Structure 1
Amino acid sequence: MEQRFVMKCGGSTLAALPDGFFHELRDLQAAGVKPVIVHGGGPAISETLTKLGIETEFVNGLRKTNDDVLDVVEMVLAGRINKEIVRKIGVNGAQSLGLSGVDGGLIQAKPVSNAHEIGFVGDVTDVNASIIEGVMGMGYIPVIAPIGIDAAGQRYNINADTAAGAVASHLGVERMIVVTDVPGIMKTVDGEKVVLPSVTVAEIDEMIASGEIYGGMIPKVRAAVQCIQGRVQEVVIVSGQEPGVLTRAVREGGVGTRIVQSSERRV
């Protein structure tokens, strides 16, 4: 059976990754492995909104999105960030095709339940996996910007982690790789920080409550947990700066932190 994986990465994280990471993508693609990338771009969106003098605010971690903000979200995600990634993959010898969730109705969406206070932010209702399959079948790595659309043509700002989990689930992928700037979830043992090889969603909640997971690691971990939906059984958090990290995450394991739904830990 062909090997495939879905990788979620923030736009700023991807921009900072070394060429070796993209060489790995090239080598995996050449070996018949089929990657799919879903990316974010929050900092770049905020920077552009500031430059344009458009006010932005967050409600429970999600960006309040009116028409003006939505135009910028689409411009930055589907335009600038998406094409930066496609260019970087191409320069390093692999082939990719940039898409947004609007293209071909790739990501179908509906308003989130609190749309009255947050605007055009969406939940994924369906993913047209045949488009992704077709792009992979042509020999390209799909690079997807998380903009959704409904039957009436309304666009929605989709959380990248939610979109990545939905894409992985509709493709039938059980494992997602979340590429960050940290080697995994850290814990202090005998005064030394170590990477936890495996942790459950319940244990993450306990570690946040106890203060073992703190600061900037909290949103990274919560974002990874959002990816566990549908058929996705586990998420691996890895550092994109670590040599050979993708190959190890896809084929060997033993890298980063595996987040699993329950205590029935997968081997």
Structure 2
Amino acid sequence: MKCGGSTLAALPGSFFDELVELQRTGVTPVIVHGGGPAISDTLGKLGIESEFVNGLRKTTEPVLDVVEMVLAGSINKQIVRRISTHGGQALGLSGVDGQLIQARPVVNSAEIGWVGDVVSVKSEIVDGVLKLGYMPVIAPVGVDPSGQRYNINADTAAGAVASHLGVSRMIVVTDVPGIMKTVDGVKKVLPSVTVQEIEDMIATGEIYGGMIPKVRAAVACIHGEVREVVIVDGSEPRVLTQVLQGETIGTRIVRMA
């Protein structure tokens, strides 16, 4: 499950109650989270300039220190605390811990800095945490064999973790009900859409504005073993149970063979 840092902060207590309920029934979610707004806020307070290149944060060494501090520190522990206060058991990790997420520089690292692509994920660490009875909460900071840290896009990290765990479905928890399309003058949620259909809808303007990065992020999660991503609104009652039971909720993005 991928959750944006700001989305998680705004989720109702009932969402965390459901997480804990699932854990007690033996369906333990693995959470990968972001935290872009909190990073920007902290950089601003410290007087460190934020710069973006094609939608990705340019990550200099000072920015990287803040990225790790916010993602692996305050955001990660906030999520763990919320799960714990609702009666669940969670363990916070970053991709640096045990070299959980091994990374390498992105192709355009010369202009974007310490941003990484995922090389591999040590799924045995996640499996070990699950066997101990804890819900893994993972911050997307990666590391290479030399110990260099990398800022990794949360969607990229979530897709890689899901794929290395061998799961076929990933849930993206957002603040929107799914991908919308206007039908006879009324906006309706599309129950299912292919990656190609998404690109076509962006080209025709049916998907526009702030929804473009949301759907592109979801598409980025379709990686390796992951064959479908479900975009859901985390404030919807019993949203995770509905997805797991195969009910029609949100939008399923499917990869065609």
Query: Is this a same-fold pair by TM over 0.5?
Result: yes
1:197 to 181, 191, 200: 191
SS state at 1:252 partner: coil
Partner of 2:200: 206
Structure 1: which 4+ aligned runs deviate by more than 4 Å?
A: none
Q: Distance in 2 between matches of 1:94 and 1:193?
A: 37
Q: What letter is aligned with 1:44?
A: A
* Equivalent runs, 1:1-267 vs 2, <5 Å: 7-262=1-256
> How many residues are aligned here?
257
Q: What letter is aligned with 2:33?
A: H
Structure 1 residue 45, shift from structure 2 partner: 0.3
Q: Distance in 1 between matches of 2:200 and 2:147?
A: 42
Q: Distance in 1 between matches of 2:19 and 2:246?
A: 16
SS state at 1:34 partner: coil
Structure 1 residue 198, shift from structure 2 partner: 0.3
Q: What letter is aligned with 2:163?
A: S
Unaligned runs of 5+ in 1: 1-6
Q: Distance in 1 between matches of 2:245 and 2:46?
A: 44
Q: What letter is aligned with 2:123?
A: A
The alignment's TM-score, normalised by the length of structure 1, stands at 0.95
Structure 1 residue 78, shift from structure 2 partner: 0.3
Partner of 1:3: none
The alignment's TM-score, normalised by the length of structure 2, stands at 0.99
Q: Distance in 1 between matches of 2:107 and 2:238?
A: 41
SS state at 1:156 partner: strand
Q: Distance in 2 between matches of 1:30 and 1:50?
A: 41
Q: Distance in 1 between matches of 2:244 and 2:140?
A: 23
Unaligned runs of 5+ in 2: none
Q: Using the TM superposition, name which of 209-218 and 124-133 deviates more.
A: 209-218
Question: Percentage identity across aligned positions?
Answer: 74
SS state at 2:93 partner: strand
Q: What letter is aligned with 2:47?
A: G
Q: What letter is aligned with 2:57?
A: R
Structure 1 residue 253, shift from structure 2 partner: 3.0
